[in-house]
Structure 1
């Protein structure tokens, strides 16, 4: 097997690690490309386990990017949300269990933003890819006790912030479809039944598309926000479909040159969070048109 073939055999796994680490499909692709350049220049005869070597390279490239990403995101216009990735085709690996789907959900990626870069690396490698603490310590070049401490802190932070993730995929999609229909039709009673009292809505336009620059908090305010959307005259020209994004059903709304991804987060049968990604630089994985 050639060096290129060995690398391509690991590409999907490397993208999965980088995306979970960075929350950005574009940056994850760039990391994989950087890893290829390093692989191309390496002496393959001295690499005993290519998968382990590439995992270490990708993880450390992500750690470098995370350090500078925090500064950029502090200067971001409005709320920063992860880039949505369609997952029905297996882009992020198998998502057959509740745990697998939760670990790539937008809600989880937002929670992971609160971790330090080393905590995030340890959590992703352990929870999503099943690495042992000894292996993680070797990847990060720290001792095993430190790796365990980082994982313990990361898991505690995640546990405190996570909500119950829907176990029944069919029921989850049925609720999302009802919610979409109620929103598009301006069904006040239907929306009131579906929205949780403490629901929060975030919109990420990145300063490029008009969007709310602060979270909208509470059932009454979110209801007004959704009804305002429904009253807009261009709604008649909007096409809407349900697509699996980050392991969960989401709306993809298209109007002229604008594409928006609207992801409802559920707790039981109530919508507890709404995440609208409308920044054109962030929906490229859905539109298959990466920005120049």
Structure 2
């Protein structure tokens, strides 16, 4: 474990409080894109503004936030490329899930920027999750111990993504996948630095906790009718707790993409210009 930085002679309650506050600040910073994006979700009226439909306004807000973060150097171009990948992956899933033969959920409002029935802003909801993991990795100085072989992690992530599609036709294997993931990451721990010392927690616990917060955000979003599940068309009801498991699996997939991209980048030598 890395030695603590000098000058922070803290102990007991004072240390716990300072580390908790520092962790909260860094988490908030890591959630900057997600926080601003969902603030826009809550702020934009359902009927739109100045004749512009709500979904179109949300797309403009997401693009503006992303551009501002890159301009302010709060996000690197490499991070933007990775986040764009999450946008594409998420949008493809949205198109499938909202298609006529599936109809897992729907976007009921009109928008000029709908493609195949899906508003383009929807991909940014997945990009927000990717942005959080990428930012937290850097800001909290994340390191993973006992990470499984990258090809195994990549294969499991691919199976998780495939199951989001195939479970409509050949059965839902999420719990089998969850058991496989539990075995694969059983020894893995994530080390992070809230303040001046490294702390550690099981990586599996991190997946579940992040999935919980995304599930809570989903409940808020459906309450504001950003999208609706079939059982919410008449009146809003809480998103089924089973979606928590889906989001946790999606977090595993997102984390794996980030980890593999970092692994690939570290193994490729790019000569200086």
Same fold (TM over 0.5): no
Greater percentage in strand: 1
Q: TM-score, normalised by structure 2?
A: 0.32
